[in-house]
Structure 1
Amino acid sequence: MKKISIVSILILSLIFTSFSSIASGSTVYSGVSSASAIFLNMSYADIGSSFARNDIMRMTGLSVIRGNGNGLYYPTNKLKREEALAMILRLMGKEKDVQLAQTSRNSNPTAGTSSSGQVDSWAKGVITVAKNTGLLSKQETSLDFTQYATRQEVANWIAKGINLSPVYGKDAQYVYSYKDSSLFDADKLPYIEATIESSIMSGYNNGYFGPNDSITREQMAAVLSRAFNVSYAMMGYTKDEGYIEDIERDNVDGGVRHTYVLKNDSGQDIALVAESSPNANYDFVVLKNGKAGLSSIISNGDRLTYYTNGSNVIFAETANSSLKTISGTIDSIWQGSFRLVDDSGNSYVINYNSNTLVTMNSVNASIDDLKFGETAKVTVYGDTATEIDVEYTDLSSDGQVNTGDKQDSGKIISIDVSGGFEYVTLDNGNTYTLNPNMPVEGTGAAISASDLKVGEYIKLYFSRINTKMPDEIFLEDDYNKPVAVIRGSIAGVSGFNPKVQLNDVEMYRQGQWNATSSYAMYSLDGASVYLDGSKISVSDINKYKGYDAYIMLENHYGTETATLVSIQSGFNMSYEGSIDYNGNTMSITLSDNRQVSINGGTIILRDGLLVPKDELINASQAYVSFTRGGAANFISILDTSAPSGYYYAKGNIINVTADSITVGNYYYYSGNEYGDESLNNNEWVANGDETFYVGDKTYIVDNTGNNPVNVPYDEFLKQKYRAANYSSVYIVASDSNAIAVNIRPLSSTDRVSKAVLSSSSGNVLTIDNVMDWNGLNNKWELNTSLDSIDVTKAVIVKNNKVVSANDLKSGDNLYIIRDGALGIVITVQQ
């Protein structure tokens, strides 16, 4: 056992005591003793004119590439296969394995070769490890590794080395976009596609990729630099970013210690420490504005990207940017970024973080105060805002402003109705009072505030600062709009703007998961990610390759974006039926008494919208996907509202007067069913004769011919639709007042269903969560085969008046009387 001297202990004690006094409460990373050697290695004499100059220095500083030991890199030299593989293995964190394999070969020259091809003696360990790690296929082991590597070989090896998921079949598109795609080796195509998709390699400007062209050392440095952004964790590095807030200089033990104090983008206090003294000499290399140096080139205010390994900082890079000021209108806001449009129409996507100072008319405010449509002056460093000042119009004495100067926006988390008003609460905690009849803009359909649903994203505009009642409501249809719930096996995360990669992707629809593609990628813009109910970071997704993920996809300005990702580690089960939610225990009880817990990662869908867990309180039926003995990862609430105030009848016309229509008890069809039946508990019940009042707002349509014919009431009287002509009708009424009369043959096979509108095209409604009423079992049952309704010969009633299919909007709850896939009566339930 080694002895540690008291002097050594005292020195260590002094060092840690000094650190704690310098950076109390901070996470401290110290430099490394090899910083000067790393800096020397980066200082190549022949890369001044290289397009990849920064990439070469960056990859050298991070120990991915090496020079030839004479201060030269030879950037335009072509790269041998063995050299390319050596670089890729370093990128994979396998350099130690290569050294051990090489040592083993040197000590036992008679050992069997790892390759039947030609290889230089220095690279035999490289080929051994490349083969053992699966980087080389069996066929490739016979290559001449002293020959130049081709671009497609490098693309193939890079993808394998950093664990990009291969892209197969119809999902491989990029490789076929090149004019020389026929030159790709078929066995390499899936990995080459993955490399191109991840923006690690691309083709030439002339539309060719050059699969069999050689690659130069500077080109390889650029490729490795982009791959490193995805794979740095394989080398044991951790990456972080922040702004330098202070630089402290202390005299210690006859030397100097510099502490670079910064706050990272997560709001944590960080201290990067370099020291030059008789007892300690450590530092870290920095790349700033295209120049390499040690930490002393860092300045206050620098935006720093730094890489750590354990408790050491190895390398840092400053953003090659300067401060600038942009004024304009906030056009869109996302988590962590917003879009600003200036007076000339130029658009800027700007990031913000916990360090961004926000003011309103120079008064301190917060990020949450940023709203769509506000005018702002933004101080930007690179693409990140350091200061944002929102400019309000000067208030009048009574608080009056121009409509829109005060705004709020967010996702609706609850709607309460009381005293003739709707009280809508947004996900930012603010509650507003709406008149139910107030029109809502943005969807193209004629809708009012009473049509709003929990889970929708709205913008509110005010003409007074202190009011809670908006003047205008806008329903956002391009951002935050639900697309689908999908599931798949995690293949990884790739790209500078991270995207989750999935294999075997399926989409949920009406209680079933339908395969959509073998491979897909989705943006993770502002996504919340959970593992078995515990929140994790987006970067942690890579740790759970092969796990199943349930994902809520939403439309973010034309991009299908994963906004909620629920990763599960257990065996999955599903259930469809009645549920009982307990808000105290955060669990639901199934009809067989099994209990399933709910957490922040549970995707809850109602009417096609992502809703909070409180929506489960009033839910009685649902589809539930959950891990055995664990939590729910996805719930689709199947309840839709019961008929709200409408009365439904069908029968033969007995009589028509100046203000009424009587539907009566005449036999029809085979004579064993009676006319005039009304819906009671979703089933037709015979009532005898019934009279409904008809007025000038009653909609009457004749659907006895090939095409619908609107019938004005005076014409209706003249044409005498009555028993003598065997005319029959379906009627929608409010109390005894007829809203709509559909003249058409009665059906003995009509069914009562309810559904959620997904979309409409002409007279065809695409519907989801279709439930049919089962009178024998006295309950609603999921219909997994019906996904659309033809409403050409139907009457559609919404808000007590007849509307067209174009007046419906996605998410509407529909109560449907249908004959097969042909609609007869459709009412929109509130």
Structure 2
Amino acid sequence: MKQKLGWRYRLAVIMVILIFLAWPAGAGQAAHPFVQGYVEGYLKEITLPPAGGEGEAAITVETYGGEIYRLKLSLQAVLAIDQRPAKPADFKPGMEVYARIVNRQATYVEGYSTMVASYLPPGGRVQRGVIIDIEGENLIIKDYAGERRNYYISPATVIMRQGKLITPGLLYPGDRVKLYFDELYSDVVGRMEVEGNSVLVSGLYRGKLASVDTSAENLVLREVYIWRNGRWQSHAGIMQIPYVPEIVPFAGGQKLAENRMPYYRGRDVYIITKNVLGRERAVNVIFKNQYESVFNDKIADINWYADKLELGDKNNFTLHEGSVVIKDGRLQDKMILGSGDDVLIIADGRGLSRLANIIYVYNQSLNNTKNGQYYILAGRLDQVTEYRLWLKDYFVLGGNQWESFRGSRELFFDHDTAFYDGENRILLSADQFIAGDYAVDEESERVKKEGLKDWYAYLYVDGERVVAALLQPKMDSLLVQRVTTGTVHKVVQDELAGWTVEMRDGADFSPARGQWMPRTAFLRVNLEKALLIKEDKLITPEELKTGDRLYMVRDDFFGKVIVVK
């Protein structure tokens, strides 16, 4: 009996094993990810804890079968897309993913872009930051975490400001930009949007802190002075200035918490403001720690490792995190400073120990960055054909002074080029310019009979393309002309002289000294026959605004070529 039961028992066990082995694998329930050691399917989301906050990183995946699993993301987790290293921000909901699981944590996550390896929809990757510099195709920005990043622009890069296409030459250091990339691992910018212009400085003030209202974000100063035309001038007995919410005060080169400002009542403070909806707001607050001193000279050397700056007169200064740099009337990163810059430094300290609190850079040029190709040329119009012209024995404004060249220079123009007949004070189309007698064959009978001569021109060019031209029958004496920069104080229509601009905080370039010489008085310049250009377009004098920065070639009182910066 035992033998019979044993035989039947063994036969039953064998049959059960055979049935189990023959059972289709898909007929049973799929193994749990924690059992099989991985999960794959579609990404729902990757969540990260707030910076400095509590919480854990996690990944949520919907399997191909429809189950949803939320896994803790290991601190040492390796992330990849198409077998290339990636960051959490590179993963998009809906992307197919594979996650390896160890001890109930995802230790390796790989995503698949499905169509083409490393493919993103156009503009699928985004980076925000502030422009530091542009040199050639190289774009340097500082992201909002304070890191410097290098990218590249190409002729195909689309650049937009306020919904309008612009060229790279119209970008400024300090502009806040949003960069869109068409490929995940590419550093070539596909599209760029200027989110906000670099901060235009509307005022530099010094006064004693009377009170602070941190809830209303207001400062009250007494005995207020304003920086005008190279010196402090009395401005107001008392002044209230609201400040931006993100304000970071400094004292002695050190950051202060906003709520510590009330403890500095009675102390001298420097305030840099910008215009917000017609009202000034403080963007920088620097408390004077010891004694103020002001220096004007060229930068001889900068040691970035030690944050030291030396002027030509051998005075040395320490740069600190709160040092304010103003150039082109805009707040700039201190990295734009360079040897040879003409600067004014408002320092704080005593003896040989001085902090550079405010650095005002006088240097300006037609080009905002090293990438610019704008020039001003002057010369005789030798020949004009369809969309081409030649200047003979011409001059180029290089290094803020005229340089002469023999021979001819070929340039190109188009229907977007603006021509201004300064003698008759009329605008011309490209066709009218071509048809006009602005460049003539002085040996022809008609020309001799009518006494026609070649005209002269000031040309504002971008590379080899003429952006705008000022035409006049006679050549000016370029030796007496000056290159001047300044800020529009007001624009008036004088009864006798016509449209005239009054400028403050100006500087003239001195060819003899090779440096910018600050002006200590207001300057008036006539605009009636001037070529007035803003963002590659001709504008009228009434379009100038108070606070606009100007770069100009002038013949004493008369402006010739004026560019709004």
Pairwise TM-score range, normalised by the shorter structure = 0.5 to 0.7
Is residue 469 of structure 2 the alignment partner of residue 751 of structure 1?
A: no
Q: How far did residue 405 of structure 1 move?
A: 6.5
What amino acid maps onto 2:141 in structure 1?
V
8 Å contact from structure 1 (residues 439, 446) kept in 2: yes
Distance 1:786 1:729, change over 3 A: farther
1:589 aligns with 310
Over 3 Å counting, the alpha-carbon distance change for 1:606 and 1:364 in structure 2 is farther
> Size of the alignment, in residue pairs?
440
- Offset at residue 457 of structure 1 (A): 1.8
Residue among 427, 431, 438 paired with 1:709:
427
Q: CA deviation at 1:519?
A: 1.4
Aligned partners of 2:218 and 2:240 also within 8 Å: no
User: Is 1:774 equivalent to 2:510 in the alignment?
Assistant: yes
1:635 alignment partner, one of 330, 339, 359: 359
Q: 1:627 and 1:797, CA in 2 relative to 1: closer, same or farther beyond 3 A? A: same
Residues 418-444 of structure 1 deviation map (CA, whole Å, 9 limit, x = unaligned): 5x3434342422625242553433446
Q: 1:737 to 1:492 in 2, by over 3 A?
A: closer
Contact (CA 8 Å) 2:226, 2:234: kept in 1 or not?
yes
Equivalence map 1:197-216=2 (5 Å):
none
Mapping of 1:427-826 within 5 angstroms? 427-428=144-145, 429=147, 431=149, 433-435=151-153, 437=155, 438-443=157-162, 446-462=165-181, 466-477=185-196, 482-517=201-236, 518-554=238-274, 560-580=280-300, 581-618=302-339, 620-629=341-350, 630-641=354-365, 648-650=376-378, 660-661=389-390, 663=392, 679=397, 682-684=400-402, 690=408, 692=410, 696=414, 699-705=418-424, 707-713=425-431, 715-719=433-437, 724-725=451-452, 728-732=455-459, 740-744=468-472, 745-748=474-477, 751-755=481-485, 770-785=506-521, 793-795=529-531, 803-805=537-539, 815-820=551-556, 822-826=558-562
Q: Which residue of 2 aligns with 1:172?
A: none
Change (3 A) 1:657 1:415: closer
Query: SS of the counterpart of 2:321?
Result: coil
Q: Distance in 1 between matches of 2:275 and 2:221?
A: 18
1:411 pairs with one of 127, 130, 134: 130
Deviation of residue 704 (structure 1)? 0.5
The 1:797/1:522 distance shift into structure 2, 3 A limit, reads closer
What CA distance in whole angstroms lies between the structure 2 residues aligned with 1:788 and 1:430? 42
3-state DSSP class of the match of 2:337?
helix
Which residue pairs with 1:426 in the alignment? 143
Aligned residue identity for 2:427: V
Partner SS, residue 196 of structure 2: coil
What are the within-5 Å matches in structure 2 for residues 190-339 of structure 1? none
| 1:65-124, Cα deviation, whole Å (9 max, x unpaired) | xxxxxxxxxxxxxxxxxxxxxxxxxxxxxxxxxxxxxxxxxxxxxxxxxxxxxxxxxxxx
CA–CA distance in 1 between the matches of 2:187 and 2:546?
Answer: 27
How much does 1:635 deviate? 0.6
Relative contact order, higher structure (CA 8 A, sep 6+): 2
SS of 1:599's equivalent?
coil
Q: TM-score, normalised by structure 2?
A: 0.63
Q: Distance in 1 between matches of 2:186 and 2:201?
A: 31
- Please say if residues 490 and 501 of structure 1, whose CA atoms lie closer than 8 Å, have aligned partners that are also in contact: yes
Percent identity of equivalent pairs: 18
Query: Does the 8 A contact of 2:169 with 2:373 survive in 1?
Result: no
Instruction: Read off the aligned partner of 2:325 and give its amino acid letter.
Output: I
Residues 484-511 of structure 1, C-alpha deviation per residue, up to 9 Å, x if partnerless?
4332211121142432222233343553
Give the partner amino acid of 2:538.
Answer: S
List per-residue Cα deviations over 1:175-200 (Å, max 9, x = no partner): xxxxxxxxxxxxxxxxxxxxxxxxxx
Partner amino acid, structure 1, of 2:239: Y
Q: Which amino acid aligns with 2:160?
A: E
- For residues 80-99 of structure 1, the aligned pairs below 5 Å read none
The 1-side partners of 2:197 and 2:134 are apart by 26
**CA, structure 1 residues 461+494, in 2 after alignment: closer, same or farther (shift >3 Å)?**
same
* Equivalent pair of 2:160/2:192 in contact (CA under 8 Å): yes
Question: Partner letter of residue 638 of structure 1?
Answer: Y
Give unmatched runs, 5+ long, in structure 2. Answer: 1-49, 61-71, 75-88, 96-112, 443-450, 493-498
CA distance in 2, matches of 1:364, 1:789: 66
- The offset of 1:528, in angstroms, is 1.4
Change (3 A) 1:565 1:446: same
| CA separation of 1:822 and 1:447: change in aligned 2, threshold 3 A | farther
CA contact (8 A) 1:457 1:480 kept: no
Q: Secondary structure at the match of 2:266?
A: coil
Following the alignment from structure 1 to structure 2, what is the Cα–Cα distance between the partners of residues 696 and 390?
44
Q: Distance in 1 between matches of 2:414 and 2:281?
A: 48
**Residue type at the aligned position of 1:562:** A
User: Secondary structure of the residue that 1:777 maps to in structure 2?
Assistant: coil
SS at match of 1:719: coil
Q: RMSD in angstroms over aligned alpha carbons?
A: 4.7
Distance 2:186 2:209 in 1: 47
Considering fraction of residues, name the structure with more helix: 1
Q: Which residue of 2 aligns with 1:307?
A: none
- Secondary structure of the residue aligned to 1:640 is coil
Q: Residue type matched to 1:590 in 2?
A: L
Deviation at 1:416, TM superposition (A): 5.0
Alpha-carbon distance in 1 for matches of 2:375, 2:234:
41
Q: Over residues 489-538 of structure 1, what are the superposed CA-to-partner deviations in whole Å (9 max), with x where a residue is unaligned?
A: 11121142432222233343553344443311322512212111122222
Per the TM alignment, residue 611 of structure 1 is displaced from its structure 2 partner at its CA by 2.5
Distance in 2, matches of 1:821 and 1:693, equals 30
Unaligned runs of 5+ in 1: 1-351, 366-388, 665-675
Name the aligned partner's letter for residue 634 of structure 1.
I
Whether the aligned pair in 2 keeps the contact of 1:490 and 1:500 (CA below 8 Å) is: yes
Over residues 293-330 of structure 1, what are the superposed CA-to-partner deviations in whole Å (9 max), with x where a residue is unaligned? xxxxxxxxxxxxxxxxxxxxxxxxxxxxxxxxxxxxxx
Q: In 1, Cα distance between the equivalents of 2:120 and 2:93?
A: 7
CA 1:652 to 1:524, structure 2 compared with 1: closer, same or farther past 3 Å?
closer
Output the CA distance in 2 between the equivalents of 1:808 and 1:447.
Answer: 20
Do the aligned partners of residues 461 and 761 (structure 1) sit closer, same or farther apart at CA in structure 2, a change above 3 Å counting? farther
Query: Equivalents in 2 of 1:561, 1:415: separation in Å?
Result: 26
